[in-house]
Structure 1
Amino acid sequence: MHVEFMQLDHRPFSLPSSPWLLSQVWEDLLFMHYPIAPNVLRNYVPRELELDVYQNKAWMTIIPFRVTKMKGRGFPPLPLLNAYLELNVRTYVTYKGIPGIYFFSLDANHPLFVIGARISVGLPYKHAQMKFQQLNNGFQFKSERHLDKSISEKIDLTYKPGDVLFETLPGSLDHWLLERYCMYSFQGKKLLRGDIHHDKWKVSKAKVTTLINTMASFLPVDNIAKIPSLLHYSNRRRVFIYPPKKVGERMK
């Protein structure tokens, strides 16, 4: 048994009955959290999902990270297919009482994975040009994807993790933002829930020293701050991904 399955009491709901399908290692994750007015963000979340809020605030999180050691259950990692860079833009939702994540976009620099994820689970993956570099005192992450000839969504930042590692406390904003174990997406008319599992987050605070960010270009001007209100860093998590299952249908 993988050691991650020896810790389950941090999960807000039980593991799926079906076996996990895919495993990945997520490395050097930076969580950049931004409060957004709920009435603004509600316009960009499907009405089938309830926008989740913490103390009357909705939140958007942008996460650059590295994926390594990706492999299917019972198979070794495949050369050239097991590692890539990823950038997520997400918010927080519930469906029938189950808290989860809704993605506005997921960028990756691996075109085959992008195509496969879009077809299989309906997640809005898009191919982007990306670069990750380890610096003497932190990391640099760059990503750019063109929406058309004149507009692009991009991020260019350097970040440094803090020295103190901590676990989130139940009831805290840190816990509410991080301890999420499913994602919702649409595939045609079907509402899908994709479950994941990993052990409880252990994170540190972080500092962003350079930041260019146009990843939330769909929001009206001045509805997202230039600097994140809260930052978390995690150096590594092994994650187990379960096959998505239908939990509802798109409203007419």
Structure 2
Amino acid sequence: MSADKNSNKELWDDSHRTWPLPNLPWTMKQNWHNLLFAHYPVKLDDLRRLVPEVLPLDSFNGMGWVGVVPFEMKGVRLRGLPRVKGTDQFPELNVRTYVSVDGKPGVYFFSLEASNKLAVWSAQTFYHLPYKRADMTLVKNDSTIEFESKRRNTNDFNFACNYRPTSEPFYAKKGTFEEWMSERYCLYTTNKKGVPLRCDILHQPWQLQNAEAEFKQNTMLYNQGILVADENPILYFSKKIEVRTWPLVRALE
């Protein structure tokens, strides 16, 4: 076997997942670059009012957690098709929390912002995700990422932040907060009837770094009814991860 094939086999090894992938072909490949994970504690009762009852909340140290995650998508393409220029690279911003269905820990999104019109439409249509279009920029200045987002047609959802890594890369240890928030291999949503759906994903374990950030503007939480218990977030950075996604399936069979 060639070195390239060996590398590809290692990249897409799924042995670290705690449940099997669906017996379906993967549908999309993408790379996530220059991610900031900014996490805020939220009281579980406050969080419960914002997340569909059918999705059981996860907690760490007795608190729910909401993450604000700016990053850049690159290399986006559908299975069997080449990348389409103009739609394969764009900034994104998501606001998320953590749920588990049937023992499978995953991510639930309050909102997702993207600058790409086709990406927003596709995610809304095929994945039932709350994507919105926004005017966004991501600029890398040495080790600092300068990120700005303003949702279109409203002045209520704005985000501006400079962030950078402050440590060497590391893998999260078992039982730590960084493992709890990052090592999740699916996302959850609901359809119009309220049925919980799961989208499985595959990537290698996250390589994280400690981070620091200057928040110039962040209305993404309060304007969605998210009341944080501490306005000083826990910060981590990740340089890059390659991801494959699968079609939506019912979370409960």
Q: Which residue does 1:64 correspond to in 2?
A: 70
Q: Is the 8 A contact 2:35 2:237 kept in 1?
A: yes
Q: Which residue does 1:158 correspond to in 2?
A: 162
Q: 1:225 to 1:128 in 2, by over 3 A?
A: farther
Amino acid of the structure 2 residue aligned with 1:193: R
Aligned residues: CA RMSD:
1.7
Q: Which of these residues, 201, 206, 218, is aligned with residue 201 of structure 1?
A: 206
2:248 corresponds to 1:247: no
Query: Cα deviation per residue 1:206-230 (whole Å; 9 max; x = unaligned)?
Result: 010343211012226x5354331x1
What secondary structure, in the 3-state scheme, does the structure 2 residue paired with 1:49 have? coil
Query: Cα deviation per residue 1:2-51 (whole Å; 9 max; x = unaligned)?
Result: 33223x33322222221211000000001001111111111000000101
Q: Which region of structure 1 is more displaced relative to structure 2, 14-23 or 29-38?
A: 14-23
Q: Is the 8 A contact 1:169 1:175 kept in 2?
A: yes
Task: Give the TM-score, by structure 1 length.
Answer: 0.91
Q: Is the 8 A contact 1:146 1:152 kept in 2?
A: no
In structure 2, distance between residues paired with 1:199 and 1:61: 20
In structure 2, distance between residues paired with 1:61 and 1:147: 24
Q: Which of these residues, 223, 229, 240, is aligned with residue 236 of structure 1?
A: 240
Q: Which residue does 2:45 correspond to in 1?
A: 39
Q: Is the 8 A contact 1:147 1:153 kept in 2?
A: no
Amino acid of the structure 2 residue aligned with 1:196: I
Q: Which residue does 2:12 correspond to in 1?
A: 5
Q: 1:106 to 1:204 in 2, by over 3 A?
A: same
Q: Which residue does 2:20 correspond to in 1?
A: 14
Q: What is the aligned length? A: 244
In structure 1, distance between residues paired with 2:164 and 2:228: 26
In structure 1, distance between residues paired with 2:54 and 2:111: 18
What secondary structure, in the 3-state scheme, does the structure 2 residue paired with 1:177 have? helix
In structure 1, distance between residues paired with 2:231 and 2:115: 25
The offset of 1:107, in angstroms, is: 0.5
In structure 2, distance between residues paired with 1:25 and 1:83: 9
Amino acid of the structure 1 residue aligned with 2:188: Y
Q: Which residue does 2:186 correspond to in 1?
A: 182
In structure 2, distance between residues paired with 1:78 and 1:9: 31
Q: Which residue does 1:53 correspond to in 2?
A: 59
Task: Give the TM-score, by structure 2 length.
Answer: 0.91
2:100 corresponds to 1:88: no
2:191 corresponds to 1:191: no
In structure 2, distance between residues paired with 1:10 and 1:43: 33
Give % identity. 34
Runs (4+) of structure 1 moved beyond 6 Å? none
